[in-house]
Structure 1
Amino acid sequence: MQDVGLHKGLNAFHLWGIAVGLVISGEYFGWSYGWASAGTLGFLITTVVVAAMYIAFIFSFTELTTAIPQAGGPFAYSRRAFGPVGGCIAGYATLIEFVFAPPAIALAIGAYLNVQFPSLDPKHAALGAYLLFMILNIVGVQIAATFELFVTILAVVELLVFMGVVAPAFNFANFTAHGWAGESTFSLAAVGGMFAAIPFAIWFFLAIEGVAMAAEEAKDPRRTIPIAYITGVLTLTALAFGVMLFAGAVGDWRTLSNLNDPLPQAMKTVVGDSSGWLHMLVWLGLFGLVASFHGIIMGYSRQIFALARAGFLPAALARIHPRFRTPHIATLAGGAVGIVAIYSDSLVTIAGQSLTASIVTMAVFGALVMYGMSMASLFRLRRREPALARPYRAPLYPYAPAFALVLAAVCFLALVVYNPLIFVLFLSVMVLAVAASLLARQGGRQSFADGGASV
């Protein structure tokens, strides 16, 4: 047996690319479903509140990431603050978020490719994406992160190009028309629509916290992670509002509210079906989806690895490739779950939603539990371990983390009210996973020390 650790090769620019890349597909698709629930104006208010939550969360979460720079991220923080049970809750919530988000993104990749190649089955394209990017993640973190940075930059540029091309047709009256849950005036229905649209506003920012899972592979994480997180969340906030406003102001936004490709369809109303700009958007729009897909694979593999290394998942999942020093088995295991979800999409519906919409909601449930556990861990560790080295301290403590914690709780309760069946499914998975892991660990399952894993 040879003990090897994860390779440390990521600088601040790599980490910014991961932070933005993990999320940027959310600017390309998914969010426009919020218009169907809340209308443009209602969804705008929901997004402002959710953006404020994320900014407060990231500025607070960064303290934990720099103080405890481990691949487990939220699992490591909650385990230190609340013991094995708290660690399990945060770890499995994060795992649900990161394992359930990629199938939705992979299917969107397939939908974008199907625009150019109508004979190509989107599910087969999604499978090809999984195979390609699992391999890329396995062959080396620095190669994977450099690729992530490259496609993220292209995706950001493409969003700016989209805004520039449609700008001549921008008319704010289009954005405000029927802006309150499809009505012209504010009503109680609009309030309900705003709460129902919360998952789609979260989709604009979902998974940015995944940088924490790369902390063990970062150079000087106490310096580079704050730079990546803060610039990343500000970049994403600016892009989210820019994309939403420009897409909704170029025509009848209601035609975009239930589509997986709202940006090409919005551009089509401005430049026509045969414009080279449209074809460029479809092709380069793939980079945004690829950036998030590839980055989230990196995130779920590290979370599986960390749980297995601590003895909460089978030991084989903590193995590191002897040459590439990446958690290869964890990468493949998470991908297998996603591939099953892809081919089940048209066969399964939950509460009248497609499987894709349902797994997005499952991912959001996982994220909100993780956000709450992380902020609770921040408060507890401040009290229990005041001497813990904190290279970065949360600004406006305790108000900013409390604000993030309260808003995460409100969003979670709203999600339960509007998605009760999916909540029951989420809760069942969490209870079974946590209970099984704790019982197996107490029964003598081998636990790996936090410093490394066996090959």
Structure 2
Amino acid sequence: MEQSGSVQLKKVLKPLQLWAIAVGLVISGEYFGWNYGWHEAGTVGFLITTAVVTLMYVTFIFSYTELTTAIPHAGGAFAYAYRATGPIGGLIAGYATLVEFLFATPGIAFALGSYLHFLYPDISILVSALFFNVVFILLNISGIKESAAFSVFITLLAVAELLLFMGIVAPSFKMENYLANSTPVKMSGMLAALPFAVWFYLAIEGVAQVAEEVDNPKSNIPKGYISAMLTLVLLAIGVMVLTGGITDWRKLSHLDYPLPEAIAIVLGRSSGWTKIFASIGLFGLIASFHGTILASSRQVFAMSRSGYLPHKLSKVNTRFKTPHWAIVAGGVVSAVALFTGTTSQIIIMSVMGAVLMYIISMVSLFILRKKEPHLERPFKSPVYPIFPAIALTIASVCLLTIMYFNLGISLIFITGLLTSLVLFIIMGKHKLKVTHDDLLQSPMISNTKD
């Protein structure tokens, strides 16, 4: 399945833009979704769960960066798994990554609709979610440099708002509120809360999907990843702890807009700050929404280019140099999901895809260390093999636990994977070789700008 050399993406992204894309992909996790974990584990139990998941992500990102810099391919985990294990492993990794990003997008869209509904009750959640879907498809088609510039702007606003939120609610924090109704801490509750702790950081690895568009990936990718991870850890802990101590946290454990509601409790619903915060809160959701569309489209593009999806999806727009059909395809999947699921269900589906991808990526790292010891690795995982082993172990426990507590969604997830595998084998694609240089050789993309 030799691909045309004309399929090229612009290489223009710098460390600040990578930081913005990485933080932007994830930052909506601080705005909503994580609070469902309180319902399962209470504040203290969920704090412990989040600490374990944070350890998984820190060790994972340091390990994943080795793969991203050694094989800067738009397919991310799909490319690493293909190179390490072959076509079947590539398919499984590609499927997991697609599920993660394609379902994260409608989950965030639901939250966008909910924030608008909080401000203007007459606006339908579903209608506004579909509206954002269309607008950001068009923005992503317009060009990677334009999209990245937007990411920097919107992410800086989102981070500033979270810092403002913490400053406003901190004086009202009471430890007795945070600890109330949260004992005894039970293992079953902490395990059930795992997907909502993962949601805090889910999609940070999406930077790998724009690796082919990075200027000087050897140095810029590690800078973008590590700075983003540090930013997100500080924001996640600050938002979660402070929010849990301002009132009876159970009032916030079922909402898609916990932060505006928290501000309303502190300042009053009629306060101008409450309305302003809810309005600005859209920035964080928009940053992640934009980022997940960007990442999912590059995954579709890469798998199409390698023959795993219809070839038309790898077409690059001659004017904007973006994979326009891949972007549209992701938007269609997002729209369908909006009509068929709820926020919590979509989050769980997305998280399942993510943790399966983490598992495959760490396995690929171990295999490639032995299979290709001379592969150029501009960044090596520190404390190898301990870091990737920690990430692999925690991710495996997460996947098994999430499947146990969500059997219905797990059945849908597994059915989709098995169906993809059967069709892949029936079509004989498992016997074909992908000849794209980034998969079979030791690629380091040049820094020449188009």
Does structure 2 conserve the Cα–Cα contact (< 8 Å) formed by 1:310 and 1:450? Answer: no
Does residue 193 of structure 2 align to residue 197 of structure 1?
yes
Query: Which residue identity is paired with 1:301?
Result: S
Question: How far apart in 1 are the matches of 2:291 and 2:416?
Answer: 24
Aligned residue for 1:368?
355
Does residue 243 of structure 2 align to residue 240 of structure 1?
no
Query: Which residue identity is paired with 1:404?
Result: A
Question: How far apart in 2 are the matches of 1:443 and 1:90?
Answer: 14
Aligned residue for 1:439?
426
Aligned residue for 1:69?
72
Query: Which residue identity is paired with 2:8?
Result: G
Query: Which residue identity is paired with 2:389?
Result: A
What TM-score does the superposition give when structure 1 sets the normalisation length? 0.93
Query: Which residue identity is paired with 1:249?
Result: G
Does structure 2 conserve the Cα–Cα contact (< 8 Å) formed by 1:301 and 1:334? Answer: yes
Does residue 290 of structure 2 align to residue 290 of structure 1?
no
Question: How far apart in 1 are the matches of 2:344 and 2:169?
Answer: 28
Which ranges of structure 1 fall in alignment gaps of 5 or more residues? 346-354
Does residue 73 of structure 2 align to residue 52 of structure 1?
no
* Alignment CA distance shift 1:448-1:132 (3 Å): farther
Aligned residue for 1:430?
417
1:134-192 CA-to-partner distances (Å, cap 9, x unmatched) read 11100100100110111111000000000001111111111011113xxxx34xxx211
Aligned residue for 1:153?
156
2:375 to 388, 391, 405: 388
Corresponding residue SS for 2:375: coil
Question: How far apart in 2 are the matches of 1:85 and 1:403?
Answer: 25
Aligned residue for 2:446?
none
1:356 to 314, 328, 343: 343
Q: How many residues align?
A: 436
1:24-423 residue pairs with structure 2 within 5 A?
24-180=27-183, 185-186=184-185, 190-345=186-341, 355-423=342-410
Does structure 1 conserve the Cα–Cα contact (< 8 Å) formed by 2:72 and 2:438? Answer: no
1:318-361 CA-to-partner distances (Å, cap 9, x unmatched) read 1111111111001101110111111234xxxxxxxxx3322211
Does structure 2 conserve the Cα–Cα contact (< 8 Å) formed by 1:137 and 1:298? Answer: yes
Deviation at 1:443, TM superposition (A): 9.1
Moved more, 270-279 or 284-293: 270-279
Corresponding residue SS for 2:86: helix
Query: Which residue identity is paired with 2:167?
Result: G
1:97-124 CA-to-partner distances (Å, cap 9, x unmatched) read 0101111110110111112222111111
Question: How far apart in 1 are the matches of 2:335 and 2:433?
Answer: 29
Question: How far apart in 1 are the matches of 2:157 and 2:394?
Answer: 33
* Alignment CA distance shift 1:437-1:448 (3 Å): farther
1:13-32 residue pairs with structure 2 within 5 A?
13-32=16-35
Query: Which residue identity is paired with 1:300?
Result: S
Deviation at 1:4, TM superposition (A): 3.9
- What is the identity percentage for the equivalent residue pairs of Structure 1 and Structure 2? 51
1:189-228 CA-to-partner distances (Å, cap 9, x unmatched) read x211000000000000000000000100000011100001
What TM-score does the superposition give when structure 2 sets the normalisation length? 0.94
Query: Which residue identity is paired with 2:374?
Result: A
* Alignment CA distance shift 1:449-1:388 (3 Å): closer
